[in-house]
Structure 1
Amino acid sequence: MDTYQLEAYAKINLTLDVLYKRKDGFHEVKMIMQAIDLADTVRLTCQDASDGIALTTDTASDQANDAVPMDSTNLACRAAVLLAETCRLRQGVHIHLYKRIPVAAGMAGGSANAAAVLLGLNRLWRLNLSLNRLAELGATLGSDVPFCLYGGTMLATGRGELLQPLPDAPVLHLVLAKLPVAVSTASVYQRYRPDAALHHPDTDGMLEAIRSSDAAGIARRLGNVLETVTLMDHPDIGRLKSAMIRHGAINSLMSGSGPTVFGVAADQSQAESIAEAIKKEFQAQVYVTSTIAGRR
């Protein structure tokens, strides 16, 4: 087998709570992460070790203004280097990314690509590493990489790398919209103030709704304390949330540190209707998708 291709699925946060700033400078978080059926496709092709690790992409035209690193700083390249060094291999690989996940959107697109490279090369190079071992390696690349390896629905604590598997959430029909604004995750966390978050997510209630397969209960309990920072900087994100609900969404939330907003619809038809309305009202990248189960 010289070529292997697989999907790299994006994520959203059903809840995101920041508990405190740790002594190591990171923030202790408690959040429920959910994989969705919006994915980049990652194609891996073996090549001579002398050719090294190469990266190309078909970056979509609607993402032309967003930067996709095309050098060794790209998480997909770093994942390949890490795996080769860890297993003491002299291998070359050409990585091609078919980009569909919006870039710099708070949806873990880069981490999803890295996770797909770890999974794909584990098979292509016949390494037989366990998913748990790949997750350990992935955590050294970024806190979202382990989740992207497992997918599904998970409770994340620590920096986001400590994962507790949850039952797969019921299928939620989603509308995603990313405004053309730049949000620095590091800056958002740095400027977050606990006293500004008047309402913290009901994480325990969300866990119960997931375990009960209660889609309406999940939608009601969406919450993200980082909105207190990002929405102050970008009021259009708040207006986008309100528009989602005005056009029929059960509830709406910003994912991660932003700028992507998602709305939960009652069904596929309503999701498509909301998406059309949002496209007319905002200059945004808009997608209709749904939640998906994990790999485990």
Structure 2
Amino acid sequence: MTLAQLRAFLAAYELGTFTAAARKLETSQASISELISRLEHELKLSLFIRGGRRLLPTTAAVELQVHALQSVTSFDNGVEALKSMSSLQGGVCTFGVLRYGAHYDLADLVQRFHRRYPKVKVRLVGLNSLAVAESVASGEIEAGLIVLPVAEAGLQVRPLFRDEVFYVSATRSPSRGPVTIEELTESKLVLYDAFAGWHDPTRRQLLERARLKGLKIDPAIEVEHVDTALGLVATGAADTFVPQAIVNGPGFPKNVHAVPFAEPLYDTIALIQREGAYLSPATRKMAQMAARTLLAKVTPEQTLWRTGMP
């Protein structure tokens, strides 16, 4: 049984003649007759009583019509859904962004995307890189932006650029020079991304450096948001570390100083998706817009993506 046979049957059932069905389907009367004859042969049932001015549907035809219409309509709806996705006139975009994406000019990413593609539904997740990586690996979202490293297997990773991380303090003078790992472990710290904890990629890098020296990092305060941490730093309550994008941002406290680490520390920003997974046209376009926004903000020396947009 084929869709062509079902379409011919439905047209003949609706219009009452093979000739009218042929005009509707833009084919010949003989072709319609042949398609329906093959369908009757397969079903081993007659569908129409022939001979009069109009075709008379049999009981079998009345029973088949409902199911044939459902099958053809379902297939046509599926094709239209795929066409909508391909032309960005529909579909769904699922994408993960950095928790502090606003500092990378990503605050209006959804608004810009929606203005350009108003018929595409958007689900944007803004979490710690650990959670974004887990969501992509599980298939909950299609793609996302993260800070490396992450431990999730089965991910296709495309590094975009790296952003230097600075130690920031309202009480430590920059004249003392770069911050060593020894000094960091002795400092009173407020750390953000409390939920991710030591799974956070930036924290993991510093934790490994401390372990190699036989040292321990023990924060005095942990909060969830970087802006909360910076507010505490501005009061002199504790120190923290943030990427250069935040240091250079308009909201960075004026009384807080940024100092590099003695062994330079970097956040590597990357696009991820599941290995071998197909990105929907909408999510692919969102990823391209996000990558272009990020790369427009950094210097050529910071850029790691050299071969064009993903």
- TM-score bin, normalised by smaller chain: under 0.3
User: TM-score scaled to structure 1, two decimals?
Assistant: 0.24
Greater Cα radius of gyration, structure 1 or 2:
2
**Greater per-residue strand proportion:** 1
User: TM-score scaled to structure 2, two decimals?
Assistant: 0.24
**Greater per-residue helix proportion:** 2
